[in-house]
Amino acid sequence: MLWKTVLTLAAGLIALQPALAQDNDVPRSDTMPVNAVVSESITDVAFYDWWIVQVAAGETLIIEMRAGPTLAPLVGLLDPSGTLVARSDDGAPGGTVRLEYTAAASGEHIVVATRVGNREGSTTGTYELAVRRPGDLPARDSVHQQVTFRCDRVEVTNAATLQFAEDPEQYSGYIISVYGLDAFVPMIRVELENVNVTDCSRNPQGMEGDVVALPGLEPFTAAGPLLDQAAQLKIIGTVYPGPVTLTVGSQDGAPGRFVVVVQGFQIDPASDRDYIQVGQGPLAARRPLALYMISDKRSRLDPALSLPAGLAAERALACDDAGGRRCRALPSAESLRIAVTSSGEEVTGGRFDAGLLLAAGAPQLVPVELGSFQRATSGRYALVLLGELPPRDLP
């Protein structure tokens, strides 16, 4: 199945081809596995969602609903006969409600996510719903990062998140390309704040022939079976999308290494600064994550990045020149080359390109400042993420 690969933002018009985001005026009814997290919203029309879980007799479920700041959450559970067998306390706006229930019968149970007052309620907003068994790892280890999310009807295990916003006067669109290695099957979810769009893609159309060369690995070409482990999303148009939240994951939790390339940034003038946040999903955080700032070699830009005070010593290493001086832990970008067929451009690393290494640890989002060394140069650049999603049962 080919999913939407381009978000077109035209003046006064948002065109999704095809649109996969939920219609917020229709209550959702969908399946979800135990030990997963889903995200949705409650509106005045769609004031509830139904999430169907398979439960065996005698099995205990722990259900938590975490609300956004404007929603007063309420969660209930229906047994296979449709009888309400458990209900949480009323929650306060922005709060979390919880219930625990041991099933009397096997079959499909329905978790009802709604608001205090149900139909007569007045609050609306986003929420996250987590369902797990006692003794399982919590479905979400951090307030910042989900273990899993859903794209349409597909469950995706979170590998990495990148939040960014190019300056409005510099915005010309983004090309997001993801390549999976080993068994990793990439899925891309993007949220555009200014135009209130959330959409997903797993479409490799236009990526055939892309060449990827990474530090320490033989180059490979996106073709044949490897093309099925590629995905691309383009954000184009005349409307500035504002802050972008990009989440990359692997379908059904298939493990492996991954490469994320985001094109469409620039430092201009030389004193310009860009600000992003980067982090790993809770399972992917068991492995390090590398971020590279790669200059367009047709420009004079000498990339530089920095972290807030304290972070470099705690769990991140920021390097003006990746692999150089005191940055031997982060391989140099010199052997990094990614030829992106759809853009007709190459992302080619050099010895002066900057990098950041997030050590294995908590799945928090880390703020990063990007610019030019000594604020002396300007030009275009791309961001490249290199990481790994380990199997769930490995430490």
- Rounded to an integer, what distance in angstroms lies between the CA atom of residue 347 and that of residue 299? 12
Rounded to whole angstroms, how far apart are CA atoms 336 and 338?
Answer: 7
- 315-325 per-position pLDDT tens digit: 678 898 988 77
pTM equals 0.68
| pLDDT at residue number 27 | 85
What would the two tokens of residue 209 be? 């022939």
Torsion of CA 157, 15, 243, 177, to 10 degrees: 50
Domain spans, the chain: 21-132, 152-389
Answer yes or no: is pLDDT of 139 > 70.
no
- Express each pLDDT in 34-77 by its tens digit: 777 788 889 888 899 999 998 889 989 899 998 888 899 999 99
Q: What is the pLDDT of residue 137?
A: 43
Section 206-228 average pLDDT: 92
The more confidently predicted of residues 140 and 44 is: 44
Confidence of residue 310 (pLDDT cuts 50, 70, 90): low
User: How far, in Å, CA of 146 to CA of 209, rounded?
Assistant: 33
Distances (CA, A) of 265 to 173, 268, 301, 383: 9, 10, 12, 8
**pLDDT confidence tier of residue 157, bands split at 50, 70 and 90:** very high
Q: What is the mean pLDDT of residues 133-137?
A: 60
What the block records as the tokens of 289 is 């994550």
Task: Note the pLDDT of residue 265.
Answer: 96
CA distance 58 to 43: 35
pLDDT higher than 60, residue 15: no
Strand pairing partners for 7? 16, 235
Better-predicted residue by pLDDT, 384 or 150: 384
pLDDT reading at 29 higher than 90:
no
The pLDDT of residue 199 is: 80
Could you report the per-residue pLDDT of 89-126, keeping only the tens digit for each? Answer: 999 888 889 999 999 999 999 999 999 999 899 999 88
At the top level of CATH, the class of 21-132 is: mainly beta
Percent of the chain with pLDDT strictly greater than 90: 51
